[in-house]
Structure 1
Amino acid sequence: MKVVVDAPSRLHLGFYNFFEDGIAYGGLGVAIEEPKFLVRLWRSNKFEISNETGVELSDIIGKVVEKFNIMNIGISIEKAIPRHVGLGSTTQGILSLGYGISKLFNFNYSVRDIALMFGRGRDSGIGIAVFEKGGFVVDSGRRIDGIVEPPKDLKDLPLPIIRKVIPRNWYFLVFIPKGIRGLDEVTERRAMDQPSPLPKDLQYELYKLVLLHILPSIDRRDIVVFGKAITKLQVIVGTYFSRYQKGIYCCEETEIIINSLLSHGAHGAGQSSWGPTAYGIVEGRKRALRILDKVLNDIYRKGFECHYMVVRARNYGAEISWEE
C-alpha cells in the first residue's frame, strides 16, 4: 500500500501586525490550486528515492528521513513547488513528507505535531493552515518576549483565527521571474527575528483594511474592494521590509509585473512573501487571460522571462489517500 499526499502551495498576502502588545506578526494568505506538492510513499526493503520534477528537494527529504530515522521507505515526488520563490515550498514539502510517513508507519502525529517537530510556524502560520484546510486564512501571530524563536510547543504555533472560502470565479495570475530568489536565510532572520511596532496610524490602517474591507469583501463577493485592500496592505508591508529587500518589492522585475497587472485591470496585486512571485487578482477566467496577454507583452518588452499560470484558490487542504 502507498500513501499519497497532494498539498497546495500558498500566496502569502502580507501581515496585518508586526509587533503589538507582545504579539509578533499575524498574516494573511490563500491556498492556490497550482503549483502543488504530490508525493507517493511506501514501505520498502531499501531506501528508494525518485524525483523527476526538476526541483531540488534533497535537503527536505534528508531532514525528514533523518528525523524519523527511517530507511525502509520508497518516496516518489511527482509534483513539486518551486523553491525559494515565495510559494511556501519548504513548509508544504516537510508537512507532506512528514505527515505521509506518520500515516504510513502509524506514528499518529498530527499536522501540527509535524510542524512543531521541524520548526515550522516560526514567523507565519499560513503554510500550516492551508495544508490543514486550504482557503483564505488569517493567523493569530505568536506571543514573544522581544525575539522570535522557534515554537516550543503546540500552543506556541500560530493559530488560524479566520478561514474563508474564496469564490470560484476569482482568479490569481501568478508570475515567477526566472533566475531570482527571495531573501537568503541570514537576511530573512535579520528581518524577522526582532520585529518592531509600526507607527500607530499605520497599525490602525492595517487593522482597518483587514476588519472593514478584506474580510467582509469575501463574504460579499466584492473582488474590487478585496483587491484594493490587499494592494494597499501590501504596500504598507513592503515599506516596512524595504530596508531588507531594498524597496517595496524584492526586485525590479516583480515591481514591473505588479504595476503592469494593476494598469491592465487587475483588481489587486502584490508580492507573495519575499518574492519574487507576483500575483494579480481578477474576476472571471476570460478577463484573467486578456490581462495575462497584456502583462506578458510588457514583460517581454522589458527583456526578462518568467513562469506564469492562471489559477483559482484551493478551498481545501492537503488530500491524503491510500492506493495499491
Structure 2
Amino acid sequence: MVRVSTGARIHFGFLNLSLARDRLYGGVGVALDEPRVVVAAEPATDVRCRHPAAREYAEQAVDLLGVEGVDVSVERTLPRHAGLGSGTQLALAVLRSVAAATDREADVRRLAPEMGRGGRSGVGVATFEAGGAVLDAGHPTARFTTDRPEDGSWSVPAVAARHEVPDRWRFLLVVPDADPGRNGAAEESSMRSVVERADAQTGDRIAGIVTRRLLPALAEGSAERFGGAVESVGRLNGTWYADEQGGVYRPPVGALVSSLSESPVVYGAGQSSWGPTVYGVTDADHVDEAVEAGRAALADADIEG
C-alpha cells in the first residue's frame, strides 16, 4: 500500500479578471503544511473506495493510467468548498496514489485538466507539485469563452513565480460555521458574470501591488509586508465579486477580516477563494496571540467556528 499526503492551500485572489487585458486570471496563493489530505491506495481488480468524491477521481485515474483497478481509502481530508482547495488536492492525491500503487508514471500537471482541475487557477496544481508561495501566469484572454470548456481541453497555467515560504511565517485559519463557498454550476455562473463586467483598472492596481510589494516581501522574508500586500490583493479582488457574494467579502467573512485586521500580531487578513475560510498572516513569535485574535473575531461576530 502507498500513501500520498498533501497540504491545503490559501488562494489570495487573481491578478486580472478583465477581458480588456491580454491575460486573464493569474492566481496568487500559498501551500500550507496543515490541514492535510492523506490518501492510501493498493492494486485491485476493480475500483473500490467508500469516499464518494475520491471514488470518482479513482475511476478517472484508472482510465487515464490504463490500469485494471485500485483500492483507495481516504485517511484525512479537507472540508469541502471551504476555500482550502479540497477538490484539487484530493483529485491529485488520488491520481498520484493510484499511479504509485500500480507502478505507473503520472504527470499531474498534464493530467489535471482531464480530471477537471486547474482550469482557471493553477495555484492548487502548483502547490501540490512543489509547495511554496505561487503566482501563476493565467491564460491568454483570447481563449476565454462564456461556456465552461470541456474537461481536458485546457492547460494548467504555468508557474510565473514561486518562492519558498520562510520557516518562521505562520498562517492562521479561521473557519466559521457558515454555508460552503460557491462551487459547481453556481461558481461557473458567478465567475462568468464577474469576468464580463470586471473593471480593468482594478487588475492594474493588483499588478502593481504584486510586483512592488508582494514579491519583494517574499524575496526579503518580511511577513509584515507580505500580509499587507495579500490583504490588499484580496480586498481589491472583492470589489470584482461584490455583486455576486454580497460584499467585498462574503458574509460573515467581512466581520472576521475586520476584527483580525485590528490585531497587531496579524499582519494581513482576508478571504481564501470563495470562503468561508479566513486567513491571517503572522509569525512563529506570535502564534498564541494570533489564535486568540481568531477566537475573539468569532466571538465578536457571534459566530461558531
TM-score calculated relative to the size of structure 1: 0.84
| Alpha-carbon contact 2:48-2:55 (below 8 Å) kept | no
Cα offsets for 1:206-254 (capped at 9, x unmatched): 11100011001111112222111111111110110111101111212x2
Q: What amino acid does structure 1 have at the position aligned with 2:44?
A: S
C-alpha contact (below 8 Å) 1:65/1:71 kept by paired residues: no
Find out whether 1:58 has 2:52 as its counterpart.
yes
> 1:141–1:66: structure 2 CA closer, same or farther, 3 Å change rule?
closer
Mean CA deviation greater in 127-136 or 147-156: 147-156
1:68 aligned partner = 62
Instruction: Please report how far the alpha carbon of residue 40 of structure 1 lies from its aligned counterpart in structure 2 after TM superposition.
Output: 1.1
Distance 1:302 1:78 in 2: 33
Distance 2:214 2:169 in 1: 14
Structure-1 separation of matches of 2:90 and 2:131: 15
**Would the alpha carbon gap of residues 202 and 49 (structure 1) be closer, same or farther in structure 2, given more than 3 Å must change?**
closer
Measured in 1, the distance between the counterparts of 2:255 and 2:78 equals: 23
2:41 and 2:98 in contact (8 A); partners too: yes
Change (3 A) 1:294 1:192: closer
Q: Secondary structure of the residue that 2:143 maps to in structure 1?
A: coil
What TM-score does the superposition give when structure 2 sets the normalisation length?
0.89
| Secondary structure in 2 matching 1:193 | helix
The equivalent of 2:271 in structure 1 is 271
What one-letter code is carried by the residue in structure 1 that aligns with 2:86? S
Aligned match of 2:88 in 91, 101, 106?
Answer: 91
Q: Deviations over 1:101-156 (max 9, x none)?
A: 12222342301132021121111000000010100000011124342643776873
Give yes or no for the alignment of 1:137 onto 2:134.
Answer: yes
| Residue equivalent to 1:220 | 220
CA-CA distance at 1:301 after TM superposition: 4.2
Query: Quick check: 2:47–2:55 contact (8 Å CA) kept in 1?
Result: no
SS in 1 for 2:217: helix
Letter in 2 for 1:80: T
* 2:137 counterpart of 1:173: no
Structure 1 stretches of 5 or more lacking a match?
51-56, 307-324
Q: What is the CA distance between 1:304 and its match in structure 2?
A: 1.7
2:17–2:200 contact (8 Å) kept in structure 1: no
Gap runs ≥5 in structure 2: none
Question: Larger relative CO (CA 8 A, sep 6+): 1 or 2?
Answer: 1
Deviating beyond 4 angstroms after TM superposition, the runs of 4 or more aligned structure 1 residues are: 45-48, 151-155
Distance 1:262 1:248 in 2: 15
Q: Distance in 1 between matches of 2:238 and 2:279?
A: 14
Does structure 1 residue 147 correspond to structure 2 residue 141?
no
Contact 2:58–2:72 (CA<8 Å) still a contact in 1?
Answer: no
Q: Give the 5 Å matches for 1:1-324.
A: 2-19=1-18, 20-45=20-45, 47-49=47-49, 57-66=51-60, 68-69=62-63, 72-143=69-140, 144-147=142-145, 149-150=148-149, 156-193=155-192, 195-196=195-196, 198-252=198-252, 254-265=253-264, 266-284=266-284, 286-306=285-305
Closer, same or farther: CA 29–264 of 1 in aligned 2, 3 Å? same
The CA RMSD over aligned residues, in Å, is 2.2
The structure-2 alpha-carbon separation of the partners of 1:111 and 1:151, relative to structure 1 and needing over 3 Å to count, comes to farther
| Partner AA of 1:281 in structure 2 | V
Report how far residue 198 of structure 1 moved: 4.6
- Please say which of residues 120-129 and 218-227 is displaced more in the overlay: 218-227
Encode CA deviations 1:30-67: one digit per residue, 9 max, x unaligned. Answer: 000111111111113565436xxxxxx40332243255
Alpha-carbon offset, residue 277 of structure 1? 0.3
The structure with the greater share of residues assigned to helix is 2
Deviation at 1:287, TM superposition (A): 1.3
Tell me, yes or no, if the aligned pair for 2:256 and 2:301 is still in contact at 8 Å.
no
Amino acid across the alignment from 1:246: G
8 A Cα contact 1:47 1:72, kept in partner: yes
Change (3 A) 1:45 1:121: closer
